[in-house]
Chains A and B, each alone.
Chain A
Amino acid sequence: MDDFAHTSSGVPVRPVYGPDDRAADPPPPGAFPFTRGNYPTGYRGRLWTIRQYSGFGTAEESNRRYRYLLDQGGTGLSVALDLPTQCGYDSDHPEVGEEVGRVGVAVDTLADAEILFAGIPLDRISTSFTINGTAAILLALYVAAAERAGVPRAKLTGTIQNDILKEYASRGTWIWPPDPSLRLIADTIEFCAAEVPRFNAISVAGAHFRDAGATAVQEMAFTLADGVVYCDTVLERGRLTIERFAPQVSFFFYTHGDFFEEIAKYRAGRRRWATIVRERYGATTGKASMFRFGCVAGGASLYAPQAHNNIVRVAYEAMASVLGGVQSMFTAAWDEPFALPSEESATLALRTQQILAHETGVARVADPLGGSYFVEALTDATEERITQVMADIEGHGGMVRAIEDGYLQRLIADEAFRLHRDVESGERPVVGVNRFATGEPVPETAAYALDAAGRERQLKRLARVKAERDAAAVRARLDDLARAAEGDTNLMGPLIDCAGAYCTVGEMVATLTGVWGEFQQPVVF
């Protein structure tokens, strides 16, 4: 059967492998180029972080869900924000009424951030924000909220996604054109290096390329190419060395169902990145060239028909991620393709990781697949293809060019179309969809019923904050921000001042748009 002869990215696979199929034995875990993992003892020193993505409605509701997940043994928070917050609109903007609190929590001002994190020990719990266009603003709000709660910024741990390039190509929450966006990202990286040393200023994300249709190889290649753009941007400013900021750069992916391909993807990505950081940037420390990543098990690999099958898919994907050496993971709930996860399905997703971590024994030994004829050969082949795709982008004029003229979007759309046709035709087997389908009714899609009362509360709070804040101070801080944006001083200071004066996210964004303009999307399909 054909589907057993190639991985999902098209890497040919033979029926059996032997000692002549792999290049050389990779060095042990913890040694450059880290093919076998970043740490000499694997997960014995530290287990991966179990980080479930969650957040919806208002700050009060999300805060309640966070405390529940922490009580259940979660070890970090992952904050989902609603689309208006992600795109830089306040909850009272006339165009966004239907979207307030719909796919995440609405954050308009510091008042919301303070409620969101109330009672959570931010010096001990790490927080990951899936935020990009407005990442610098959310970081400013987080720092301001933490400091009001008595936690100094130096103690904060967590990550902002802050990866704008993939937004242009696949996720869609862009605001400004590439140049000022890259400048703002470099500002956050320099700020974190200097003042929030335990916080990851950027999580370069391939996950959304993948969910938009990219193959595993493309996902890794596009992501590393984006990482190169960010590092180039920071280094060109000449204020930080690679050793100083690279340890705060992390990565983020989807793990889908092709088990060994996913393991090889992570092993190859780790080696490629370490090699790039050493060869291109001359990094001398292992810490700078370490590729640290989080992942989601689930996403577009889950299907609505026979939806309980997704529990099994997620478990395999989670295991592949761990065998690939993941640092933090979100396991999706089985009902995610058609509903906002219930507390029950979300808990089961959490238990899936706990069973993996504490019952299966996969965490006992560092890189247990190291030296496998097949896994090493597949890692080599995958790395080679990643390198080819990166060279192709470079040949097109680089990542920014490929995004601005729609080249990258077209590559992704091509794969999405092919996969869709392959699933429809049965060429790509999906159990319950085109194999062993039983025709049972697909579970009813439950669009999250927007809590109208929650939105009213949000609008009331925003109105109250606007009425009670010092209007002159707001004006002054926004003017400072505009002036700073026109020049080249780091914008994090002015943004934290804006946050402290209860400027809204929408006001800060509009101020910057006034200086920078908006991104013009190329339309390709």
Chain B
Amino acid sequence: MPARVLVAKPGLDGHDRGAKIVARALRDAGLEVIYTGIRRRVEEIVAIALQEDVAVVGLSILSGAHVALTARVTAALREAGAGDVTVVVGGTIPAADVPLLKEAGAAAVFPTGTPLDELVAEVRALAAAAASP
């Protein structure tokens, strides 16, 4: 069974061009991809992740609120007993924030401009690692 990935848009920012491009590239690479749509609350994202039994949650955030939102998602996953779900983050992310996002629980960070193939390879590896503990 292919690994499942949830592409999620927390917060109010409605720019999902990047999220959709990433979702499609992952799907083309043979992963099973679920996209939440825009403006999802953290609790909704966690509920979908659990319900769909995903290995990886990819957060797409362009509003600048990435650190706070990522921390809230990883905390909510842990609280729901799903701390083993891998979280990655993409969007307009300053290099200085990458360590902060890792601290907040992100396994990988993909700032704007990351080549798609690179992103796909890394997510696929993370999904495989999560699926075979």
Chain A residues engaging chain B, CB cutoff 8 angstroms = 83-84, 86-87, 89, 95-96, 98-99, 102-103, 167, 171-173, 211-213, 300, 304-305, 338, 413, 416-417, 420-421, 424, 442, 444-448, 450, 521-523, 525
Contact = CB atoms under 8 A, between A and B. Distances in A.
B38 interface: yes
Contacts of B66: 447
B24 A447 contact: no
A450 to B, nearest CB: 7
A314 B16 CA distance: 24
Given A102-B65, A172-B16, A417-B21, 10 more contacts: A98-B11, A99-B63, A102-B63, A167-B14, A173-B14, A446-B94, A447-B92, A447-B97, A525-B24, A525-B27
A420 B65 contact: no
A85 to B, nearest CB: 10
Given A98-B11, A99-B12, A416 B112 contact: no
A172 B116 CA distance: 24
Contact of B64 (A102, A171, A525): A102
11 contacts: A83-B12, A87-B39, A89-B12, A95-B41, A98-B69, A212-B17, A338-B112, A420-B116, A444-B94, A523-B37, A525-B23
A424 B115 CA distance: 7
Contacts, number: 97
B94 A416 contact: no
Contact of A521 (B11, B23, B37, B93): B37
A416 B92 contact: no
Nearest to B11: A99
A86 B19 CA distance: 21
B46 to A, nearest CB: 15
Contacts of B64: 102-103, 447-448, 450
Interface in B1-54: 7, 11-17, 19-21, 23-25, 27, 33, 35-39, 41
B36 A99 contact: no
Contact of A416 (B11, B17, B35): B17
Contacts of A167: 14
Contacts of B95: 444-445
Nearest to B66: A447
Contacts of A417: 20-21, 24-25
A84 B63 CA distance: 12
A445 B112 CA distance: 9
A424 B39 CA distance: 28
B106 to A, nearest CB: 16
B24 A172 contact: no
Contacts of B15: 172, 212
Nearest to A421: B116
A89 B65 CA distance: 17
Q: Which of A87, A413, A424, A447 has the most CB of B within 10 A?
A: A447
Contact of B68 (A98, A212, A521): A98
A446 B94 CA distance: 6
Interface in B51-67: 63-66
A84 B11 CA distance: 10
B115 to A, nearest CB: 6
Contacts of A444: 94-96
Nearest to B28: A417
Contacts of A447: 64, 66, 92-94, 97
B21 A420 contact: yes
A424 B120 CA distance: 14
B65 A99 contact: yes
Interface in B72-111: 92-97, 111
Nearest to B117: A424
B14 A172 contact: yes
Contacts of B7: 525
B17 to A, nearest CB: 5
Given A83-B12, A98-B69, A447-B94, A172 B38 contact: yes
Given A172-B14, A444-B94, A445-B95, A83 B38 contact: no
A8 B58 CA distance: 31
B133 interface: no
A444 B111 CA distance: 11
What are the 8 tightest A-B residue pairs by CB atom distance, in nearest-first order? A172-B14, A98-B65, A83-B12, A447-B64, A525-B20, A523-B37, A445-B94, A525-B23
Contact of A424 (B33, B68, B116): B116
Nearest to B9: A172
A197 to B, nearest CB: 33
Contacts of A448: 64
Contacts of B97: 447
A338 B20 contact: no
A275 to B, nearest CB: 32
B23 A445 contact: no
Contacts of B37: 521-523
B98 to A, nearest CB: 11
B12 A87 contact: yes
A212 B15 CA distance: 8
A11 B113 CA distance: 28
Contacts of B65: 98-99, 102
Nearest to B19: A525
A304 B112 CA distance: 9
A13 B129 CA distance: 50
Given A102-B65, A444-B96, A448-B64, A96 B115 contact: no
Contacts of A211: 17
B20 to A, nearest CB: 4
